[in-house]
Amino acid sequence: MSSDPITAALLVIGDEILSGRTKDKNIGYIAEYLTAIGIDLREVRVVPDVEAEIIAALDAVRARYTYVFTTGGIGPTHDDITADCVAKAFGVSIDVDPRARAMLLERIPEADLNEARLRMARIPAGADLIANPVSKAPGFRIGNVIVMAGVPSIMQAMLDNVAPTLETGRKMLSVSIEAGLKEGDLGGPLGEIARAHPEVSIGSYPGYVDGRFQTTLVVRSREEGALAEAEQAVRRMIETIKAGKA
């Protein structure tokens, strides 16, 4: 386990997300998953199926974060260009990988292994494969970039397979407190608590449920002691405000 935070970005690749045709289900899943294993997701970008855009986004984030995860664009059709873009970004060649081809043959009869299906075995030189128990066509990892499918069930299986190989940091601890108050009534004192506890991050999340505004306060820290102190301060604040209003 690293003592420095382990960070990540996610690139969601696909015109269908940007047109609204497909509603992304991977961002929230990956965010929650990485948080749980001690990797901080710091940025997400959704980019179209355009080579220059994918490469520019890849280069921008892979230099900044420990890991970059991508979803989408590794299927057998002409609009699946992620693997080629990753190869270009890394300046390596890409061709049908015998290991990936063997994986495809576990599910696909050799007679059906046409050029389109073989696209799914095109892997940048030097990459490690990520097994896909659902449909066999693998994801891959090259450098700090982890390339996964866009179909949620397949992406999730790939994430399970690659996660044990990743470096992780101290987990972010968090406590969630339902304030039972409006944000406007607690914003002032909460800000003071946030300033007095710079080693924790305090978020205030309003919701609008059954015509009423609710506020959930989330206190986060990697330090158990600091978290407990800030949590107590927040709980005392809530009691004080409620007593004042009663």
Query: Hey, which residues between 135 and 174 contact a second copy (CB under 8 A)?
Result: 135, 151, 153-154, 172, 174
For residue 96, state whether it binds a second copy (rule: CB under 8 A): no
CB-CB neighbours of 227 under 10 Å = 20
For residue 177, give the H/E element and its range: strand 173-178
> In whole angstroms, how close is the CB of 40 to a second copy at the nearest point?
8
For residue 235, state whether it binds a second copy (rule: CB under 8 A): no
> In whole angstroms, how close is the CB of 126 to a second copy at the nearest point?
26
Residue 136 CA to residue 49 CA, distance in Å, equals 23
Dihedral class, residue 10 (left if φ above 0, else alpha if ψ from -120 to 50, else beta): beta
For residue 206, state whether it binds a second copy (rule: CB under 8 A): yes
Among 5, 15, 128, 131, binds a second copy (CB under 8 A): 15
Q: Which is nearer to a second copy, 75 or 124 (CB)?
A: 75
Among 6, 13, 17, 181, binds a second copy (CB under 8 A): 17
> Can you give the three-state secondary structure of 199-216, one letter per residue?
CCEEEEEEEEECCEEEEE
> In whole angstroms, how close is the CB of 180 to a second copy at the nearest point?
15
Q: Which is nearer to a second copy, 142 or 186 (CB)?
A: 186
CB 142 within 8 A of CB 126: yes
> In whole angstroms, how close is the CB of 128 to a second copy at the nearest point?
24
Residues in region 106-125 near a second copy by CB under 8 A: 108, 112, 114-117, 119-120
For residue 198, state whether it binds a second copy (rule: CB under 8 A): no
CB 148 within 8 A of CB 12: no
CB-CB neighbours of 207 under 10 Å = 10
For residue 76, state whether it binds a second copy (rule: CB under 8 A): yes
For residue 238, state whether it binds a second copy (rule: CB under 8 A): no
Sign of CA dihedral 80, 84, 89, 90: positive
Among 41, 68, 123, 142, binds a second copy (CB under 8 A): 41
Among 51, 84, 128, 185, binds a second copy (CB under 8 A): 185
CB 139 within 8 A of CB 146: yes
For residue 180, state whether it binds a second copy (rule: CB under 8 A): no
State phi, psi for 77 to the nearest 5 degrees: -105, 170
140 Cβ neighbours under 8 A, 6+ residues apart: 83, 100, 123, 124, 127, 128, 129, 130, 146, 147
Among 1, 3, 21, 109, binds a second copy (CB under 8 A): 21
Among 52, 99, 167, 205, binds a second copy (CB under 8 A): 205
